[in-house]
Each structure stands twice: as C-alpha cells, then as structure tokens.
Amino acid sequence: MNNVEKLFQASSDGKLKDNELRDMQKDALNFNFFSYRDANREQLEAFGKKMYYRVMDEVEVANPIPLFFDTVQGDLDTELEFQDVTGGRVYNWAYGTTRKASRLTMEAWTVKQSPRQVHFRLPVQAIQTGRVLLRDVTAEAARVILTHKVKLALDTFNAAYPAATSSFVTNAAGADLTQTALDSAIRRVRGLTGVRAIVGSYRALFPIEQFEGYETGSSTPTGFPDSVKEEIHKKGYIGQYRGIPIIRLKDFRDLRYNYSPIAGTDVYLVPDQDKKKFNVFAEYGSTAPEPPETHQNDQTISLYWYWEDGAALPAIDTKLQYAHRVYNCAQS
C-alpha cells in the first residue's frame, strides 16, 4: 500500500486527528504536480483515480435512489425505451364458434440521459501542505453529486404523483403526518403488493412515535412490548411501523446555496422491488474517473467528474398505484 492509499484509508477510518491527516497528506503528495516525467505523471494519475473512486464509493453508500427507482446503466448520449405489454383477457366460448382474441397493447416510455459535470479547481500548494484536506474535497464532491441525483429522482417521482390524483396521493393539508393518513396509504398499497419501506425526511416522519399504541402521552399502558419503547428511548425513533421498515432521509441541504432536494413535507410508500420495474433511473459512467489537469500558470489543479443520468416513470395510473405519496405534511 503506497502513501496515497494509506492516506485515503486513514481518512476513511476516521481515527486520526486533522493535524495527523495533514502530515500524512504532505508525505503522500510530495511530488511535482507540474512535471512531465513519467514517475510524477504516474503519481498524479494514481492520486486522481483514488479521489474519483472514493467519491463514487461515498455516493453509493448514502444513495437512496434505489428505494424509488430501478437503476440501469445506459450508453453515452442515449435515450432508453422501456415497454410493458398488457391486454390479456379470458373469454367464454362454445364449440364450433369463432374464438375471441385478446388485443395486446404495448405501453412504452423513455428515459433521456443528460450530461452532467462537477469541476473543482484547487491551489496545488493548499493540498500539498494539507491546508485543504482531501477528505473534505471528496466529501463535498460526493455531497453535491448525490444532492443532484436525489433531486432529479424525487422531482421526477413527485411530478408523476401530482396533488390532484387522490387514488395514490394523500394531502396532509399542512398538518403533521397522521396515523389515519398513513394507515390509509398502507392499505391501498398492500391491496396490490407488499410495502418495501416508508420513506421520508426526519421532519415529516417525526410524528410516528406519537401514534396511538406507541406513545399517547398518558400513563395508560399501550399494550406494545417494552422493546419498542426501549428503542424509542435509545434511538429517539422506531425502525418499523406495522412491520414495514421506516427509512428516514437527511435533507442533503446545501449550506452555501441553501436548498434541499428532499422536501420536509413528503412521505412515500414504496412497493416491493419486483413491482416497480416501471420506475427507471438511468446513468452512464457514474462519476467516471477523469485524469486531473494541472495549470502551471496559476499553480492549480482541476479535478473533474463527468457522467450522464436521467429518470422517468410512465404516466399510467394502474402502475403508479403500486406506490403512494403523502404530501404537504407540517415541517414543525
């Protein structure tokens, strides 16, 4: 394991203090970034690859998109088409008569990928001296890429589940998520398929611990096992409701531009994986490695991440009913 690999391993472990990481970073990046000699270029490219793959790993670990979409790998500058065949029907018939035939219909929808990029330009001296820790650079790259992907996925999902479609959308009317609303949504989805998870922001899901049966605020016994109350006491929340895993998403808020891709007012019921093949998130070369580029005139280095992605759902009510959205919950 070379010095660059040791540095990234130490950053991942999180056991060293910042001053110790700075010392390791100085040793690992102690080469000439602007030299065209093979040894220096090899070190630069090895450093760049390690940066890119670390970002990809961090994106994958925290990525909630597979909860909502099937992720597929596309090709460069392509539009993927997906189909679903329906229309089969059983008829009565009598011997000697003409048999009726079913009319099959193919419903198709497409996913268009668009090119994306993130580019950081940093002073070489700042990273060679450890003034800017590589740990922080990779964390910021992963955060901004993941924020984009989550925003794209949820904007697409919400557009397919607009407020007017009451059969698979419930309006919380600006109030806290209620047990009645959540139970009604669970009943609708479970009538068609299993529910894989209840997904939402911490804020929107916060009232679940106050639902009847979990905690009423009185001294009356609830009838639930002490293990559930102990879970709330230790973690502050429960991991399941009616046997369904609860997944609480952080808001991925951008502290500089002050926006968040995850609304604090939405709760989603997502179906079992085998029933949501019509939700597609396509990507090509996800955060693929690109060689670093050095600029001797101003002593900087450019780090790039290029990829293409896109998301789509078919506008077919019978398929959209396999999921459910509770929107406009309170954010208090």
Q: What percent of the chain lies above the pLDDT cut of 70?
A: 93
Beta strands in 75-148 (DSSP E): 79-86, 105-112, 114-123
Residue 288 has pLDDT above 70, yes or no: no
Residue 222 has pLDDT above 60, yes or no: no
Q: Give me the residue spans of the domains in the chain.
A: 31-84+108-327
> Residue 121's CB: how many other CB atoms inside 10 A?
12
pLDDT confidence tier of residue 318, bands split at 50, 70 and 90: confident
Q: What is the pLDDT of residue 116?
A: 92
Residue 215 has pLDDT above 70, yes or no: no
Report the alpha-carbon distance of residue 206 to residue 213 in Å, rounded.
15
Residue 124: both structure tokens together: 């070489």
**Which tens digits make up the pLDDT trace of 148-193?**
999 999 999 999 898 777 788 999 999 999 999 999 999 999 988 8
Beta strands in 96-186 (DSSP E): 105-112, 114-123, 169-171
Q: What percent of the chain lies above the pLDDT cut of 90?
A: 40
Determine whether domain 31-84+108-327 maps to CATH 3.90.1690.10.
yes
- State pTM to two decimals: 0.85
Report the alpha-carbon distance of residue 270 to residue 326 in Å, rounded.
12
Report the alpha-carbon distance of residue 261 to residue 116 in Å, rounded.
17
Q: Which long-range contacts (CB under 8 A, 24 or more apart) does 29-37 make?
A: 29/4, 29/127, 29/128, 30/128, 33/124, 33/128, 33/294, 33/301, 34/124, 34/294, 34/296, 34/299
Residue 134 has pLDDT above 90, yes or no: yes
Q: What is the mean pLDDT of the chain?
A: 86
Residue 131 has pLDDT above 90, yes or no: yes
Residue 122 has pLDDT above 90, yes or no: yes
Which of 130 and 228 is assigned the larger pLDDT? Answer: 130
Angle (nearest 5°) at CA 59 between 58 and 60: 90
Residue 276 has pLDDT above 60, yes or no: no
> Residue 13's CB: how many other CB atoms inside 10 A?
8
Report the alpha-carbon distance of residue 87 to residue 316 in Å, rounded.
14
Report the alpha-carbon distance of residue 59 to residue 54 in Å, rounded.
9
User: Average pLDDT of 75-94?
Assistant: 87
8 A C-beta contact, residue 71 and residue 273: no
Residue 62: both structure tokens together: 């925290």
Exposed, middle or buried: residue 179 (CB in 10 Å: 0-12, 13-18, 19+)?
A: middle
> Residue 258's CB: how many other CB atoms inside 10 A?
7
